[in-house]
Amino acid sequence: MGTRQPRTTPGRPAGPAGTVPLRVTVAVPTYRRPASLGALLPALAGQAAAVGGAEVEVLVVDNDPAGSAAGTVAGAAPSARYVHEPRPGISAARNRALDESAGSDLLVFIDDDELPGPGWLPTLVEAWRGWDCAAVTGPVRSEFPGPVDPWITGSGTFERTRRPTGTLLRGGATNNLLLDLARVRALGLRFDERLGLTGGEDTLFTHSLAHLGAEIRWCDEAEVLEPVPAERLTRQWVRRRVFRSGSSWARAEVQLTRGAAARWRLRAVLCARAGAKALPAALLLLAAAARGDTAGRGRAAATLAGYAGLAVGTAGYVYGEYARTPDPAPAAAGAHPHVPTGEPRRATV
């Protein structure tokens, strides 16, 4: 990778040869995870200090209407900037991060239940400097608290795909994502707030980037770690996650396809694909059950759930994975209504 010169920005103090330091915002949307947030913030402070030629700010966007993360931020990272976004939904929190980064060149997202790997942030920034692309994303490696049910490991849900560094992508997730804000602003992209309580807002956002001709590249060395809590290590959680992922992907692709006829063709193709994959998966599930292969059952069950999600996603339906129990206090002005936990939501596609 080559070396990219820092951008010049009117009104900002110039450095050597008329350049100015790169401005980077590392955003952590959070919702009622004080322990993991308290572990993440000191690690981010160390990462920020290691980025050369840049001014790095850590921004915490608290999506809890009660503002419960304020004390955690004050105690764990006094230098971090805290903002409160009471409107419910991860999309509202991510859009607030975009708004709060108005003076930055780059916006980097990491989840509040993750930890950066060694050299994560400097590696992301240097990759962007070399490629000069719209976005850079990297791997998320799961870490488990103990032995895991073979059904769950067999499902492959926690085995993320690794790619050669520099690979061009059609989309990505925001749990490890760098955005070039000049390109994002030029394209007028925001996170769809209809998807705030279902998830998939990152799928739609990054697929939109790619559909509009922007480059998203993979950096395999920029790794983050995800300690997996015990409550996610259940078969029900895995089935729901895989179902939601399939529906989010299909919904994004249909929504971004131009023309009613083209959208209906894509729906037909995706539903046919789902049907063609479902029968072999069902047979594999029966065969694995007959021979007592727990891992094989998990793999087949996850395949069935994923393609079921793909099929319903073509109609705009998705499982409400992040739905919340309504708070007793009245919602803030302009807030989106809560959705009962587990209720499917429909977005216009």
Domain ranges of the chain: 23-233, 236-346
What is the DSSP secondary structure assignment for residue 325, as one 8-state letter? P
pLDDT tens digits, one per residue of 107-120: 999 999 999 999 99
According to the model, what pLDDT value does residue 335 have? 35
Retrieve residue 226's tokens: 């995800």
Helices 235-256 & 201-211, crossing angle to 10 degrees? 30
Kind and range of the H or E element at 59? strand 54-62
According to the model, what pLDDT value does residue 187 have? 96
According to the model, what pLDDT value does residue 324 have? 64
Overall size of the chain counted in residues? 349
Percent of the chain with pLDDT over 70: 85
CB 154 within 8 A of CB 242: no
According to the model, what pLDDT value does residue 314 have? 92
What integer is the mean pLDDT of 297-308? Answer: 95
- Give the sign of the dihedral formed by CA 271, CA 272, CA 275, CA 280: negative
Distances (CA, A) of 129 to 7, 112, 166, 179, 231: 11, 26, 12, 12, 39
The gap from C-alpha 146 to its chain's centroid, in whole angstroms, comes to: 25
In 63-143, the DSSP E strands lie at 81-84, 106-110, 115-116, 135-137, 140-143
pLDDT at 333 over 70: no
**CA end-to-end distance (rounded Å), the chain:** 39
Superfamily of domain 23-233: Spore Coat Polysaccharide Biosynthesis Protein SpsA; Chain A (3.90.550.10)
How many H-runs (helices) and E-runs (strands) does the chain carry? 10, 12
Q: What is the value of pTM for the model shown?
A: 0.83
Percent of the chain with pLDDT over 90: 76
Decide: helix, strand or coil at residue 345. Answer: strand
According to the model, what pLDDT value does residue 198 have? 76
pLDDT tens digits, one per residue of 188-222: 999 999 887 777 889 999 999 999 999 999 999 99
Contacts of 95 (CB under 8 A, 6+ apart): 190, 191, 193
Task: Quickly tell me which residue has 């409400």 as its tokens.
Answer: 320
pLDDT tens digits, one per residue of 122-166: 999 999 999 999 999 999 999 999 999 999 999 999 998 899 999
C-alpha 162/C-alpha 140 separation (Å) is 9
Q: What is the mean pLDDT of the chain?
A: 87
According to the model, what pLDDT value does residue 238 have? 95
pLDDT tens digits, one per residue of 249-282: 898 899 889 999 999 999 999 999 999 999 999 9
Distances (CA, A) of 313 to 65, 71, 246, 321, 329: 30, 39, 7, 14, 33
According to the model, what pLDDT value does residue 194 have? 86
According to the model, what pLDDT value does residue 248 have? 87
